[in-house]
Amino acid sequence: MDHHFMFNVPLKSFATLTGRSLSGFKHDFSKIFNVKPTQWLRDRRLKEAYYLIKYKNRKPVDIYMNLGFENLSHFYYSFKQKYGITTSEV
């Protein structure tokens, strides 16, 4: 998942690739990483976004889709929720 987090792949596909049912995958993932796989994916995408904005001077409008977010407003909302600041404050 760490290598493919930027693709908007359904969790069912990750489960299939690991040879588990969706519920088994979610259970095992949560047990091992202490976080739901959907939350892990969102956090990983936001971590990459933070890096790209802060250190590579990229604009959110140029990166949100490449990181697996479907719309810009959801990206902005998720970023603010995670970091407590807007992308322009980074």
Structural domains of the chain, with CATH: 11-89 (1.10.10.60)
Confidence tier at 41 by pLDDT (50, 70, 90): very high
Average pLDDT, the chain: 96
Q: Which of 15, 1, 14 has its CA nearest to residue 48?
A: 1
Confidence tier at 33 by pLDDT (50, 70, 90): very high
User: Can you give the pLDDT at residue 78?
Assistant: 98
Confidence tier at 8 by pLDDT (50, 70, 90): confident
User: Can you give the pLDDT at residue 68?
Assistant: 94
pLDDT, tens digit (0-9, with 9 covering 90-100), for 55-88: 999 999 999 999 999 999 999 999 999 999 999 9
Percent of the chain with pLDDT over 70: 100
User: Can you give the pLDDT at residue 65?
Assistant: 96
